[in-house]
Amino acid sequence: MSDSNPLDRLDRQELLWLTAILKDACRERLEKNLISQAFEERLYKRGPVEGRLDPRPFLKIWEPRYRKFLEVAGELHQQLEGEEARAAAEGLRAQFAPQIVRRHGPASSQVMIEENAAPSRRKSRSR
């Protein structure tokens, strides 16, 4: 077995898709379980079916598990969507953040800076 995490091979968007697929599959499984329970209840109201085990206890055992799986898959998907939105917001914030503008004028001119200024050629007139 490899020591690396198989989820490392997926980028953020693929992880988002995977959790959406998992969430949809869990929802479908829960719905199928609930439909099967309703069907079995209606079937067993007529009486037990000869030669067939009653699946109702097993269906009821799995219902809370499917609900829990759906809840966890939904939270995972929401968390990844939140991280995606947060990353996009941070990117936009950085893109549109007010830029610090340095003053472009005489005070920042290389000629006006005292260290770089050439010695004055004019001599003051003495009176």
Tokens of 72: 């966890």
> What values do phi and psi take at 28, rounded to 5?
-60, -40
What's the pTM value of the predicted model, to 2 decimals?
0.61
CA distance 53 to 88: 54
pLDDT category at 53 given cuts 50, 70, 90 is: confident
Contact 51, 102 (CB under 8 A): no
Q: What is the pLDDT of residues 82-105, one digit of tens each?
A: 887 777 777 777 777 676 666 666
Closest CA to 43 of 65, 67, 59, 29: 59
Tokens of 66: 């499917």
